[in-house]
Every structure is written in C-alpha cells, then in structure tokens.
Amino acid sequence: MYNCYKDNLRMPSGVDNLKNIINKIKNKINKNDEDNPEYRIKFAQRIATKKIRYVSERTNDEKTGEVIDTILGKDGFFHISEENHLVISCGGKVLFRAFIPDLKAYEFLSLEGVVLESLDLVSNKHRQIIAYYKYYR
C-alpha cells in the first residue's frame, strides 16, 4: 500500500475535493453552451454531413394565430460555405442561408431532423426552418 505521508505529499482537503467536483460538473454542463459560437460551428459541421428528406418553414398566421408549416423543398442537402454560412439547397435552389455564429439550431429528440432559426440571407427576414433528415434503413 502506498503511503503518501512518507513522501511528504499533501492530501487534498475536503474543500479542495468539493471544488474539483463542482468544477467538473460545471464543465460538463457548459460543454454544450448553445450561445457559444464555437459550439454552433461544431453543430453545423455535424448536421452538414446529413442529407435532407424535406424542408419546411414554420410561420404563424396573423389572423388566427395558428402555426403553419409550409413545405419548401425535397431531397436536399446542407452545405457550409467559405463565408461561414450554413446553406440548405433542394432541387438546385438555395432555400436558406444563415451566418453560423448567429444561427440557433435545435435537433429533434428523435434525431430525425433539426429546427434552424436565424436571419435568412436569401429572403432577408427572420425564419424558422425545419429540415428532416433522410433515414437509410
């Protein structure tokens, strides 16, 4: 058995142990900080590897207040441009282009798609886009 007192090594006190545990927990919690631009870039790189089954836009009807999903395109893909833009293309048309550090993205719990929310550089308005991934069996 190793005796740390023999080599004059200081054993961490209970307070030091508690601080280490708290720091480890904070690091795990802050690991996926969605407001961090670095996290958003990594997230965009991860979803850029996926193909798209179809893309829809979610809007609110001004008269009734109902949520409306409109299909924008089918069989598309994500692309990250040199200007740090996430681009969604379907059928040869660019449907959505957003600056990645400003992009809010939330993946479905089922991992079958993603919700993207940002200023669209194509239409120059704030849009909420839903992209459903292709699923290969």
Residue 25: inside a domain: no
pLDDT tens for residues 14-54? 556 777 777 777 666 556 667 777 888 888 999 989 999 99
Q: How confident is the model at residue 82 (pLDDT cuts 50, 70, 90)?
A: confident
pTM > 0.85: no
More confident residue, 127 or 15: 127
Residue 11: inside a domain: no
Buried b (16+ CB within 10 A) or exposed e, 33-69: eeeeeebbbebbeebeebebbbbbbeeeeeeeeeeee
**Side chain identity at residue 78, one-letter code:** F
Q: Let me know the angle formed at the C-alpha of 25 by 23 and 31, rounded to the nearest 5 degrees.
A: 100
Measured between alpha carbons, how far is 23 from 93 in angstroms, rounded to an integer?
Answer: 47
* Averaged pLDDT, 120-124: 91
Counted domains in the chain: 1
Q: What is the residue range of 44's domain?
A: 37-133
Residue 50: inside a domain: yes
The answer to whether residues 89 and 77 touch, using CB atoms and an 8 Å cutoff, is: yes
The CATH number assigned to the domain holding 105 equals 2.30.29
Reading phi first (left if > 0) and then psi (alpha if -120 to 50, else beta), residue 110 is in alpha
* Averaged pLDDT, 47-64: 90
